[in-house]
Amino acid sequence: MNGTSMRTHIIGTGAAIPSVVKTNSDFGLHRFYDRNGHVLPDPPEVIARKFEAITGIRERRYAPEHVLASDLAAEAASAALENACLDRETLDFLLVAHNFGDVRKHTIQTDMVPPLSCRVKQSLGILRPDCVAFDVVIGCPGWIQGLMQADLMIRAGEARRGLVIGAETLSRVIDPYDRDSMIFADGAGAVVLEGRALGEQRGILASKAVTYVRDEVYYLSLGRSYFPESDARIRYIKMEGRKIYEFSLQHVPGAMKAAFDRCGRPIQDLKKIFIHQANEKMDEAIVARFFALYDSPVPPDIMPMNIHDLGNSSVATIPTLYHQVVTENWQGHALQPGDLILFASVGAGMHVNALVYGV
């Protein structure tokens, strides 16, 4: 197989959307604290209302107690394989993007040994040793970074087809006394990739990734609970929300432009942007700044979103949303052969990446 003559195509999609629904009103009985251990002055229902106005999140999904991130990953992968009508023993690689591994309910302990990819490969019953399984831990941009890694393998001639999965159970690592915990959710999304002969501009066309670590490295990290009497040894996910917002508006549009310019197409050809579902207002502002770099208004219906119903499931947001659009025409969004789309994400690191794909 001559890798240089191949282009990477998505030939199947799948998702695992957990069954437990947690609405904003469910946080009405919570008591929220600030980072100094002081009770926030607003009642919980007011905090939840303000939260929805900023993020767009009305509800989110949590995995049932017995379900792990690797279980969600296997479910999404199995659906993607069925969608692709592909024999799983023909896969050359299986890649799982995540942040915390498997975290069992009530334990707050991450588990990545063995890697989630190996657990998923076993769950899928794939016996072929030449199907190499590995994990990517690079924050919320992990699934896009997985696509980029897979594309390199395929174009280099090292692989022909494989799975790229994003899976996370953030509900297991949130501090219930921190209002930011309302953002996070669980889920998994997956795609089957295949290298095909070069032809018209379809498949993965271009990408760009950057990492900022000077002042930005701990914008997302682990820290103690905001509850004053909590055990300081137990760590939960924490974020500098305002700093992340400002960082994203400053750096994500440029990375998106760098990726899109590499594909050599006019901005008018771009049909959809699938951006990490982190915060509705932030995503809208990023997309507006991206089009401003081309002196162009934001086209209508350019950005499908599912954050209102599914929350922020980190690496799972984009593949889940993409699956919903291509299989369900999610909220009226649809794709046609030949459409040009852009994936983009930002997250812990701080990492930013973007990828151009021809449907």
pLDDT tens sequence across 90-140 = 999 999 999 999 999 888 789 999 999 999 999 999 999 999 999 999 999
Q: What is the pLDDT of residue 199?
A: 79
Q: Are residues 154 and 217 in the same domain?
A: no
Q: What is the pLDDT of residue 106?
A: 84
Q: Are residues 167 and 229 in the same domain?
A: no
The more confident residue out of 199 and 287 is: 287
Instruction: Please give the torsion angle defined by the CA atoms of residues 214, 215, 217 and 221, in that order, rounded to the nearest 10 degrees.
Output: 160
Q: What is the pLDDT of residues 263-285, one digit of tens each?
A: 999 999 999 999 999 999 999 99
Model-wide pTM > 0.75: yes
Q: What is the pLDDT of residue 220?
A: 95
Judged against a pLDDT cut of 70, whether residue 37 lies above it is answered with: yes
Q: How far is CA 88 from CA 5, 80, 161, 314, in A?
A: 24, 10, 10, 26
Final residue in a domain of this structure, among 162, 179, 197: 197
250: containing domain:
203-358
Q: Are residues 71 and 54 in the same domain?
A: yes
Q: Are residues 157 and 213 in the same domain?
A: no
Q: What is the pLDDT of residues 63-98, one digit of tens each?
A: 999 999 999 999 999 999 999 999 999 999 999 999
Question: How does residue 4 score in pLDDT terms, banded at 50, 70 and 90?
Answer: low
For residues 353 and 168, what is the distance between their CA atoms, to the nearest angstrom? Answer: 19
Helix (H) / strand (E) containing 123 = helix 116-123
Q: What is the pLDDT of residue 1?
A: 43
Extended strands (E) in the chain: 6-16, 20-23, 59-62, 93-97, 132-136, 161-169, 186-197, 203-211, 220-223, 236-239, 270-275, 340-347, 351-358
Judged against a pLDDT cut of 80, whether residue 227 lies above it is answered with: yes
Q: Are residues 167 and 112 in the same domain?
A: yes
The tokens describing 327, both together, are 């299989």
Q: What is the pLDDT of residue 27?
A: 87
Q: Are residues 187 and 225 in the same domain?
A: no
Number of domains making up the chain? 2
Q: SS3 of 155, please?
A: helix
Q: SS3 of 93, please?
A: strand
Q: Are residues 257 and 179 in the same domain?
A: no
Q: Are residues 292 and 234 in the same domain?
A: yes
Mean of pLDDT values over 318-339: 96
DSSP string spanning 265-302?
A: --GGGEEEEEE--S-HHHHHHHHHHHHHTTT-PPPTT-
Mean of pLDDT values over 335-356: 96
Q: How high does pLDDT run on average in the chain? A: 95
Q: Are residues 155 and 7 in the same domain?
A: yes
Q: What is the pLDDT of residue 30?
A: 81
Q: Are residues 157 and 272 in the same domain?
A: no
Question: How does residue 29 score in pLDDT terms, banded at 50, 70 and 90?
Answer: confident
Final residue in a domain of this structure, among 173, 197, 221: 197
Final residue in a domain of this structure, among 136, 167, 197: 197
Q: Are residues 139 and 236 in the same domain?
A: no
CATH code: domain of residue 265: 3.40.47.10
Q: Are residues 33 and 132 in the same domain?
A: yes
Question: How does residue 2 score in pLDDT terms, banded at 50, 70 and 90?
Answer: very low
Mean of pLDDT values over 164-183: 95
Q: What is the pLDDT of residue 3?
A: 52
Which alpha helices (DSSP H) does 8-115 contain, by range? 44-55, 69-84
Q: CB under 8 Å to 229, separation ≥6 — which residues? A: none
